[in-house]
Amino acid sequence: MIEHYFRAGVRFLWNKPPDANGPLNGAIVGSLGMTTPMTYDGLDGHPAVLDPIFLGIHVANVLGLAKGANVPYAWLDYAPGRIARLPIGVNDIMSGYMSGCLIARGTYNGVMSAFHVGTIDNNPGVNRTVKQAFAQALPPDASGFYPAAAWPPGEAALIQNRLGGTGDAGHIFALMTAAGAFYSILMFNVLENGQWTNPAGRRYWCVGGIKAVAALNRVRLMASLLQ
């Protein structure tokens, strides 16, 4: 359960795994599950973005992480125009970037799995194909959520301003715990000493916030896919 690591103001060194590009045919494809180290890098220097829980308490007592520790996670690909599937194991699952895509879970070929329905901004034809394909394959026990809907544009901009204007509009990530809880995470690329990356080429990230999101049941998921 890694959701408690994503408190507002927490910093990470991390390079997002690459997208899984391929044919835009709506196929269900196995996620490569490629992960890159996500390393706790302390707290951001802007107190306006810090989660109040850190006030007067050593961060290690809140997160259970020492600086330099890695956060364990599994990665669910974003496969534009297709549906990425990852069997659910012991690690919580992250995916992104999120804009209008659906993240879902359900039993597929006898295996409890996570899905990222890979819609593409401003491509209604491809989106229709991929959504109809998932509607046809939607598991009987499916649940899911739309992570980007948790963050209105004005809210992300307000947090960006609290960071002193990062030059980055923010990126939304989905988090699905192994137990089936859904979260939406807002993170920003930030500069450190005028650099976006450390000497090893790893990007600096600051958490803007995290929100628990109620699951949509299968009926509501189906309705959203057929719109």
pLDDT in tens, 192-216: 888 999 999 999 999 999 999 999 9
ω into 97 cis (within 30 of 0): yes
**Which whole number is the average pLDDT over 161-177?**
87
Give the model confidence (pLDDT) of 90-102 as tens digits.
999 999 999 999 9
Residue 113 DSSP SS3: strand
Confidence (pLDDT) at 183: 98
Rounded to 10 degrees, the C-alpha dihedral 211/172/22/39 comes to: -90
User: Mind listing the pLDDT tens digit for each residue in 40-54?
Assistant: 998 887 777 888 877
Distance CA 147, CA 145 (A): 6
**pLDDT value of position 92:** 98
pLDDT band at residue 59 under the 50/70/90 scheme: low
DSSP 47: G
Across the chain, mean pLDDT equals 93
Scanning 81-205, the segments in alpha helix (DSSP H) are: 124-137, 153-162
Mean predicted confidence (pLDDT) in 62-76: 91
Task: Give mean pLDDT, residues 4-29.
Answer: 96
Enter the pTM of the model: 0.94
Q: What is the pLDDT of residue 64?
A: 83
The Cα 164–Cα 161 span in angstroms is: 5
